[in-house]
Amino acid sequence: MQIIDIQDPGAFDIILERVQHEAVLLQLPTVYTLVASPTRCGVEQLNHLKDRLSGKNYGTVMGSCARFLDQALDGAMPTYFRSPCRIERLHGAFVRTAFAGAESNSPVIRGGTHQSLILKGVHRDLFRQAEQVLAASMDPELWCGRSVSSLLCTSANLSGDPLGSITDRARAMKFAHQRDVGLVVTCEMARTGLGSYPIFELGPESISVQREGPGLRRLLGEVPSVLQPATAA
């Protein structure tokens, strides 16, 4: 197992080469994740590492906000957030919206919707480069006709783990050893507010919080009063 820091010289080159062939354990500021190529092979790699049954869905990590908006269906979200600079304000959250008809389902589309995590800083730089490198691997059939090259992303734990998402190094390293992960990428962890990121679902004229998480109060402050969301039960 190789361990590198995302800030190490040459780290991006190592990550982008390896992720084309295997899933990578990637530490984000508040939680440890697994990332893989946006292909059926990437889905199978994540299913194996998580001991997850097929039929589950995976989100992505967003590189280009403009590209994400281009793939969303027309009218899928409030007009206010149809601007890259405005949806960018939801950094630190997954954004879920319609990519296809409600009857569409795949390992990355559920009921026509897909969710992608917006981050800033060095991780965002990595995700942008990943979209460029993986563009040749796009699988429109997997994506219900959309053109998506963003890295798949999921929590780095076994499916159904009662301990939930991994936020500490000891558990992350134990998981990596037990599941034979080849590459672990570390970063500076947030000092407070650890855990899985919130999920915002953007409908045509509404927003709802499908999962609470770190930074939710700040995120809600980025939403206009007329769109203030209800929290999912």
| Assigned token pair, 160 | 């159904």
Alpha carbons 170 and 176: distance in angstroms, whole number: 10
Q: Residues with Cβ < 8 Å from 60, sequence gap 6 or more?
A: 38, 108, 114, 115, 116, 117, 148, 150, 151, 152, 153
Is residue 17 within 8 Å of 182, Cβ to Cβ? no
Domain ranges of the chain: 2-231
Name the burial class of residue 119, with classes exposed (0-12), middle (13-18) and buried (19+) by CB atoms within 10 angstroms of its CB: buried
Per-residue pLDDT at 174: 97
Q: Please measure the distance between the N-terminal and C-terminal CA atoms of the chain and give it in whole angstroms.
A: 41
Task: Encode pLDDT of 199-220 as tens digits.
Answer: 999 999 999 999 999 999 999 9
**pLDDT-flagged residues of the chain (< 70):** 54, 230-233
pLDDT for res 230: 65
Residue 44: Cβ within 10 Å count = 14
Q: Which residues contact 198 (CB under 8 A, 6 or more apart)?
A: 92, 93, 94, 209, 211, 212, 213, 214, 215, 216, 219
Distance from C-alpha of 199 to C-alpha of 150, rounded to nearest angstrom: 18
Distance (Å, rounded) from C-alpha 27 to C-alpha 7? Answer: 12
SS3 at position 233: coil
CATH entry, 2-231, from 3.90.1150.10, 3.40.50.10070, 3.90.870.10, 3.40.50.300:
3.90.870.10
* Residue 5, pLDDT score: 98
Q: State the amino acid at position 187 in one-letter form.
A: C
pLDDT at 229: 80
pLDDT 10s digits, 155-175: 999 999 999 999 999 999 999
- Per DSSP, 65 falls in state H
Q: What is the pLDDT of residue 231?
A: 61
pTM of the model: 0.95
Residues 106 and 86: their CA atoms lie apart, in Å, by 28
Q: Which of 179, 132, 137 is nearest to 38 (CA)?
A: 137
Task: From 141, 75, 137, 88, select the one nearest 116 (Cα to Cα).
Answer: 88
